[in-house]
Amino acid sequence: QKEVEQNSGPLSVPEGAIASLNCTYSDRGSQSFFWYRQYSGKSPELIMFIYSNGDKEDGRFTAQLNKASQYVSLLIRDSQPSDSATYLCAVCRRYSSASKIIFGSGTRLSIRP
């Protein structure tokens, strides 16, 4: 079982609609959770982070975390063509002297005009 699992997509959403991206993780010791956006050929950039159960909103983005179900999601409201990218879910767990961030394989999102 992969540590972080995402549906690879592609997920196609019409412009202006809500895009919903999902992620599950296997390690209950995971402490923090991140969503990164990656455009083709570029390095990932942080969109959202969440540490506590529930919802966290930032502009058009809402991250949702359910630690009991080991599930984290990202909602993008009013989707724009510029949101077309690969979205990477990442989880962080602290080990003895360091913390590691493990990434999922990413979901490709395509916003159609």
Partner 1 sequence: SQTIHQWPATLVQPVGSPLSLECTVEGTSNPNLYWYRQAAGRGLQLLFYSVGIGQISSEVPQNLSASRPQDRQFILSSKKLLLSDSGFYLCAWRDRGLGNTEAFFGQGTRLTVV
- Residue 26 vs residues 5, 32, 53, 94: alpha-carbon distances, Å: 9, 13, 16, 15
Residue 97's SS3 state is coil
- Minimal distance, residue 49 CB to partner 1, in Å: 6
β-bridge partners, 75? 20, 62
Q: How far, in Å, CA of 23 to CA of 1, rounded?
A: 13
Binder of partner 1 out of 34, 63, 73, 109 (CB under 8 A): 34
Nearer to partner 1 among residue 77 and residue 100 (C-beta): 100
* Contact set for partner 1, span 75-104 (CB under 8 A): 88, 90, 92, 94, 97-104
Residue window 39-78: x/- pattern of binding to partner 1, with contact defined by CB under 8 A: --xxxxxx--x-x---------------------------
